[in-house]
Amino acid sequence: MSVTSYTDENFSSVSHPALKLPVNPAQVKLSKGIQYAEDRQLGSLNGSNTYVRYQPETFSFDCLFDMTSAMEDEDEQQPVHDMVDALEQRLYDYNTEGHRPSFVKVEYGDITFFGQLKTLDTEYTLFDSDGVPLRAELKVVLTGYCSQKEEKSRFSKHSPDVSRLITIKDGQTLANLCHEIYGDPLLVEQVAKFNNLNGFRNIPAGTEILMPMLKKI
């Protein structure tokens, strides 16, 4: 497995070159999820929950840094602290050029994952007589990242075929949103009814509105 960090969200500017882990993980876990808006009708059990968005994928794996393993050339064996620091440089440390932690690409066999660090747990399990760590077990969880440019190339959020949750801003009206998304402000009554609103005028700023899949009749 190799880990490469990037400065930019398009994964084009390398900040730290690929780091190959000394021991490949025995297993990796890739999780996917979808967010739905709950049916807001009173008395509903398993109602027609509406698709909102895909949740970011997560990619998790464990890795082991062990200085006690027999090696052909012990002079080339890195201290455990140095190996942990090298991984943290790519996953956790603040990237001054990008003004945030780095974006990360992980490659393992035919798996390639683009994302950023969610959590990193390091447990030191063995030490020498001077207290220097000889073994470290790390648990890494990454969350997927897709740039706005790539996301827009996959599908347009201004399509009436894509449901999405919108927070009303100051001066924004539901009729204007319907015109922007559906191309028809007259669909405002259907959207208000879908969100169990008493009306569609004077909706307070900060109100979350689910724009369902609608098309002009």
- List pLDDT tens digits, range 84-138: 999 999 999 999 999 999 999 999 999 999 999 999 999 999 999 999 999 999 9
Residue-level pLDDT at 91: 97
Q: Strand pairing of 100-101 and 103-108? A: unpaired
C-alpha count within 13 angstroms, C-beta hemisphere, residue 25: 20
Q: What angle do CA 56, 21, 24 make, to 5 degrees?
A: 80
pLDDT at 48 over 70: no
Question: pLDDT-derived band of residue 70, with 50, 70 and 90 as boundaries?
Answer: very low
Query: pLDDT per residue over 143-199, tens digit each?
Result: 999 765 665 555 555 555 556 778 888 888 999 888 888 888 888 988 888 888 888
Q: Strand pairing of 164-167 and 133-144? A: unpaired
End-to-end Cα, the chain, rounded Å: 53
Residue-level pLDDT at 180: 86
Q: Report yes or no: 197 and 212 within 8 Å, Cβ to Cβ.
A: no
Q: Which residue has the tokens 């082991």?
A: 64
All domains in the chain, ordered by first residue: 2-33+56-151 (no CATH), 155-211 (3.10.350)
Which of 8-17, 52-61, 163-172, 203-212 has the highest mean predicted lDDT (pLDDT)? Answer: 8-17
Residue-level pLDDT at 193: 84
Q: Which residue has the tokens 């050029």?
A: 97
Query: pLDDT per residue over 56-68, tens digit each?
Result: 899 999 999 998 8
pLDDT at 72 over 50: no
| Amino acid letter for position 99 | H
Task: Give this prediction's pTM.
Answer: 0.67
